[in-house]
């Protein structure tokens, strides 16, 4: 009897290890920028060790190599299915909606341009989430319960230009977490639970143009927090504890007016005033209002 039980268990285990899941794509045009997509809805893949294959009927003259975008929706896939990137070698856009995604780990072989994660259950963005994703330009992780971000989670994301983590539950940004985002133009942490903006929060983000921190719990901002953001044109700080305004920044006067409005956030410390520094090389001649030379340097 014991030998028979052992045989049954062994056979069952063998079936589990060799399991293959076949997912059927709904192929077609996405309708934007001539993208060709695979749509996967209401799928379930719970074991990352199983082999996943994809089938479906392609449009005329299309193959797996033509797929630019995969969209997963209303599913149960707690991880990103790695076989997507071997099946669709030119996959550049990945959207995952309402699919119980719990971890973001993109295989290093992937070369995504855009990742959208919305309505999932990602509590932590880890240091392994975006390894080798130097081509990524658009990153949106929204409505997904994010509470923590590893210090070096974004170290390979130097190409990202549009970055959004709005509608999560983030309470703190560790120093220099955002520093690798050297090309980011628009950055949003709207509707989280952040309470402070530190001096070195934006140290590496000198190209930043638009910043959103509305709907947090901010009660303190370091007076030098924005000092190196010379290209910034707008900051949304509405619905916070120490400030409830948004600011358009078109001139040094706008910056100085914003600093005055943030006195409570700065805890009455003096912020750095915006000013212009001129540097000259070579000889210089200074004239008076009549055209007479009054100095030569």
pLDDT, tens only, 176-231: 999 999 999 999 999 999 999 999 999 999 999 999 999 999 999 999 999 999 99
Determine, yes or no, domain membership for 66. no
Q: How many domains does the chain have?
A: 1
Determine, yes or no, domain membership for 47. no
pTM, entire model: 0.86
> Domain containing 183: what range?
102-296
CATH number assigned to the domain comprising residue 247: 3.80.10.10
Determine, yes or no, domain membership for 82. no
Q: What is the mean pLDDT of residues 67-83?
A: 99
Please give the pLDDT value at position 286: 62
Determine, yes or no, domain membership for 93. no
Q: Distance between CA atoms of 208 and 224, rounded to whole angstroms?
A: 16
Determine, yes or no, domain membership for 195. yes
pLDDT, tens only, 28-60: 999 999 999 999 999 999 999 999 999 999 999
Determine, yes or no, domain membership for 159. yes
Q: Which two tokens stand for residue 33?
A: 């920028």
pLDDT, tens only, 145-179: 999 999 999 999 999 999 999 999 999 999 999 99
CA distances from 199 to 1, 224, 290, 293 (A): 71, 5, 48, 46
pLDDT at 279 over 80: no
Question: Residue 296, Cα to own-chain centre: how many angstroms?
Answer: 53
Determine, yes or no, domain membership for 17. no
pLDDT at 6 over 70: no
Determine, yes or no, domain membership for 184. yes
Q: What is the mean pLDDT of residues 261-275?
A: 78
Closest to 84 measured CA to CA, from 98, 58, 105, 100: 105
């Amino acid at each position: 009897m014991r030998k028979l039980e052992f045989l049954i268990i062994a056979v069952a285990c063998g079936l589990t290890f060799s399991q293959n899941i076949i997912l059927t794509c709904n192929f077609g045009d996405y309708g934007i920028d001539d993208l060709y997509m695979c749509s996967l809805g209401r799928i379930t893949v719970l074991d990352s060790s199983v082999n996943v294959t994809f089938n479906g009927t392609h449009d005329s003259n299309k193959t797996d190599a033509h797929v630019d975008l995969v969209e997963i929706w209303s599913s149960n896939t707690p991880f990103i299915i790695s076989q997507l990137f071997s099946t669709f070698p030119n996959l550049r856009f990945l959207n995952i909606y309402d699919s119980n995604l719990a971890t973001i780990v993109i295989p290093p072989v992937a070369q995504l341009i855009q990742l959208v994660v919305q309505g999932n259950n990602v509590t932590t963005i880890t240091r392994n989430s975006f390894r080798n994703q130097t081509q990524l330009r658009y990153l949106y992780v929204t409505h997904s319960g994010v509470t923590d971000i590893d210090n070096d989670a974004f170290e390979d994301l130097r190409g990202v230009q549009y970055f959004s983590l709005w509608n999560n539950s983030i309470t703190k940004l560790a120093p220099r977490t955002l520093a690798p985002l050297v090309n980011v133009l628009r950055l949003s942490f709207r509707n989280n639970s952040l309470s402070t903006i530190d001096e070195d929060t934006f140290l590496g983000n000198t190209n930043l143009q638009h910043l959103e921190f509305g709907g947090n719990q901010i009660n303190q901002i370091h007076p030098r927090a924005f000092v190196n953001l010379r290209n910034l044109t707008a900051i949304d700080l509405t619905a916070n504890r120490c400030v409830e305004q948004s600011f358009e920044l078109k001139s040094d006067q706008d910056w100085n007016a914003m600093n005055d409005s943030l006195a409570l956030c700065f805890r009455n410390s003096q912020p750095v005033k915006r000013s212009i520094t001129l540097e000259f090389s070579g000889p210089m001649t200074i004239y008076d209002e009549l055209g007479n030379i009054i100095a030569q340097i």
